[in-house]
A and B are shown apart, each in its own frame.
Chain A
Amino acid sequence: NAGVTQTPKFQVLKTGQSMTLQCAQDMNHNSMYWYRQDPGMGLRLIYYSASEGTTDKGEVPNGYNVSRLNKREFSLRLESAAPSQTSVYFCASISGQASFYEQYFGPGTRLTVT
C-alpha cells in the first residue's frame, strides 16, 4: 500500500515550457486535491476533484489545468510555465467527507521555473 505517490520529485522548467505533474493513490479514495506551498503562505488549493469525473477550482487555479483520469489518478498540468509557479506541489486524497476523514498527502514535487 503506497498511499499517495507523486512524480516527478523534482523538476526544472524554462519559462513557457509545459509539463504534467502526476498523482496516484491506491487507497480507493473519492476526493483528490492539488496544493502549492510557498514560504509564508501555507498550503493553497489549486484544484480539487470531489469524485471521479468532477473537478473544481480552488483558491489559485490560474495557469493550471487538471484531469481526474480515473479514481486513482489526478494530474496537474502547467501549459506555459512562469517563474511565479516555482513552488512545492502536494497532491492529497481523502476517503469520504472531510467532516470525518483526514487528508493523506503525497511526498511533494519541487518545481523551479527559470
Chain B
Amino acid sequence: ILNVEQSPQSLHVQEGDSTNFTCSFPSSNFYALHWYRWETAKSPEALFVMTLNGDEKKKGRISATLNTKEGYSYLYIKGSQPEDSATYLCAFTGGATNKLIFGTGTLLAVQP
C-alpha cells in the first residue's frame, strides 16, 4: 500500500508569518506530485503538478519544491494572509494508471 504523509497535521500562524509544510511519498516509480488547496465547504483546487526532481513552482506567494530521490516535497507560503487559511493536500501518482493517492492534508489557520 502506497503511503503519502503530510506534516504537520495542523498549523496556526499569525498574519504576515511565512510557513512551510511537508509531503512525503514513495521515491520508487515516481510519476508526479500534486498540491491542492481546499477551503472549508468548497472543493479542492489544484495549485501545482510537479514531475521533475529539483522542480520548483510558484504561484503568487505560494511555492513548492520537489525531491523525488528522497521522496519529499515542501510547500511554502510567504507572508501568510487570512485568506490562505485552508487545508493543503498533496497527492502522489506512482505509475501510468492515473491513480492519485492523497495525503491527509495540513490544516493552516492564519490569524489576523
List A residues at the B interface (Cβ < 8 Å): 31, 33, 35, 40-45, 48, 50, 56, 58-59, 90, 94, 97-108
Q: Is B51's CB under 8 angstroms from A103's CB?
A: no
Q: Is B99's CB under 8 angstroms from A45's CB?
A: yes
Q: Kindly list the 4 A-B residue pairs having the minimum CB-CB distance in the complex, ordered from nearest.
A: A102-B46, A42-B104, A105-B43, A43-B102
With a cutoff of 8 Å between Cβ atoms, the chain A residues found around residue B49 in the complex are: 98-102
Name the segment of B11-19, B67-75, B76-84, B89-97 touching the other chain: B89-97
Q: Is A42's CB under 8 angstroms from B43's CB?
A: no
Q: Is A43's CB under 8 angstroms from B89's CB?
A: yes
Known: A42-B104, A99-B51. A105 touches B44 (CB 8 A): yes
With a cutoff of 8 Å between Cβ atoms, the chain B residues found around residue A33 in the complex are: 100
With a cutoff of 8 Å between Cβ atoms, the chain A residues found around residue B104 in the complex are: 40-42
With a cutoff of 8 Å between Cβ atoms, the chain A residues found around residue B51 in the complex are: 99-100
Docked complex Cα distance between A102 and B105 (Å): 17
> Interface on chain B toward A: helix, strand, loop, or mixed SS?
loop
Interface: B110 (CB within 8 A): no
- The CB with the most chain A CB atoms within 10 A, among B46, B102, B105, is that of B102
With a cutoff of 8 Å between Cβ atoms, the chain A residues found around residue B100 in the complex are: 33, 45, 98, 103
Q: Tell me the smallest distance from the CB of A109 to a CB of chain B, in Å.
A: 11
B51's nearest neighbour on chain A, judged by CB, is A99
Other-chain contact of B97, A40, A41, A50, A104 (Cβ < 8 Å): A50
Supply 30 A–B pairs (Cβ within 8 Å), ascending by A.
A33-B100, A35-B102, A40-B104, A42-B89, A42-B102, A42-B103, A42-B104, A43-B89, A44-B102, A45-B102, A48-B98, A50-B97, A56-B97, A90-B44, A98-B32, A98-B34, A98-B49, A98-B99, A98-B100, A99-B31, A99-B32, A99-B93, A100-B32, A100-B49, A102-B46, A102-B49, A103-B46, A104-B46, A106-B43, A108-B43
A108's nearest neighbour on chain B, judged by CB, is B43
Docked complex Cα distance between A99 and B91 (Å): 11
